[in-house]
Chains A and B, each alone.
Chain A
Amino acid sequence: ETGVTQTPRHLVMGMTNKKSLKCEQHLGHNAMYWYKQSAKKPLELMFVYSLEERVENNSVPSRFSPECPNSSHLFLHLHTLQPEDSALYLCASSQGLAGGQSEQYFGPGTRLTVT
């Protein structure tokens, strides 16, 4: 595997379900990110991890819970989601934090549909 991988690629879940998204980066980077991409809207930063420590939480609802067990893996745990949470969820990684001069590399995303 190369670059940034995400699983699953597609997920349909009911509002009472609990599921997790997984991201793995094979680039040796030390920062990882979760973004939400909704139709016709800019990418929204959800969470940032640097050296396995969460740096920022941009007021994301508590029904989204991130976990970063090491510098290569990132999870997003989902529970009691709402239909408006349906979107493409993107994982990214970089060498150094955003706000610096390092570009981010993105995974292919997980297309989430909440029914």
Chain B
Amino acid sequence: EDQVTQSPEALRLQEGESSSLNCSYTVSGLRGLFWYRQDPGKGPEFLFTLYSAGEEKEKERLKATLTKKESFLHITAPKPEDSATYLCAVSGSARQLTFGSGTQLTVLP
């Protein structure tokens, strides 16, 4: 059974204070690891897909990395508008996405 654990559950940062979110996973035959951003009352917004260990992707202040056991979402010099819940999901032999519970990020001005 595929499993995804995200930590921390909640994170408060000052504007400009860089940090990382963690996504640990166990999956049979990883086909892809996905990061999403979700604002309150809205659907998840796709950010990145990572396919193999060592892969990295960047978008503005966000950088996602992948190892064989975990993925990190690094946030560099965050701004208040980066406040959201960040979701991690994996796809494997189960033929469906398995999501983590998310990390709720708050960036204070």
Chain A residues within 8 Å of B, Cβ to Cβ: 4, 6, 40-43, 45, 48, 55-56, 58, 88, 90, 92, 97-101, 103-109, 111
In the A-B complex, the 5 residue pairs with the closest CB atoms: A99-B95, A106-B43, A42-B99, A43-B99, A101-B32
Compute how far the CA of A43 lies from the CA of B34 in the bound complex, rounded to whole angstroms: 14
Q: Are A104 and B99 in contact (CB-based, < 8 A)?
A: no
Compute how far the CA of A76 lies from the CA of B98 in the bound complex, rounded to whole angstroms: 21
Dominant secondary structure at the A interface: loop
Of the residues A41, A56, A88, contact of B96 by C-beta under 8 Å: A56
Q: What's the A-B contact tally at a CB cutoff of 8 Å? A: 68
Of the residues A6, A105, A111, contact of B41 by C-beta under 8 Å: A111
Compute how far the CA of A58 lies from the CA of B89 in the bound complex, rounded to whole angstroms: 17
Q: Are A90 and B44 in contact (CB-based, < 8 A)?
A: yes
- Shortest CB-to-CB span from A84 to chain B, Å, is 18
Chain B residues positioned under 8 Å from A106 (CB to CB): 36, 43-46
Q: Are A97 and B100 in contact (CB-based, < 8 A)?
A: no
A43-B99, A48-B96, A56-B96 as given contacts; A101 in contact with B41, CB under 8 Å: no
Chain B residues positioned under 8 Å from A111 (CB to CB): 41
Of the residues B41, B43, B93, B101, contact of A99 by C-beta under 8 Å: B93
A42-B4, A43-B87, A111-B41 as given contacts; A103 in contact with B46, CB under 8 Å: yes
Compute how far the CA of A106 lies from the CA of B92 in the bound complex, rounded to whole angstroms: 20
B107 interface residue per 8 A CB criterion: no
Q: Are B43 and A109 in contact (CB-based, < 8 A)?
A: yes
Chain B residues positioned under 8 Å from A105 (CB to CB): 46
Write out, one digit per residue, whether chain B residues 69-109 have a CB within 8 A of any chain A CB (1) or not (0): 00000000000000000010101111111111110000000
Compute how far the CA of A56 lies from the CA of B94 in the bound complex, rounded to whole angstroms: 11
Of the residues B44, B89, B93, B101, contact of A41 by C-beta under 8 Å: B101
Q: Are B96 and A98 in contact (CB-based, < 8 A)?
A: yes
A98-B91, A100-B91, A101-B31 as given contacts; A107 in contact with B97, CB under 8 Å: no
Of the residues B34, B41, B101, contact of A40 by C-beta under 8 Å: B101
User: Closest residue of chain A to B92, judged by CB?
Assistant: A99
Chain B residues positioned under 8 Å from A42 (CB to CB): 4, 98-102
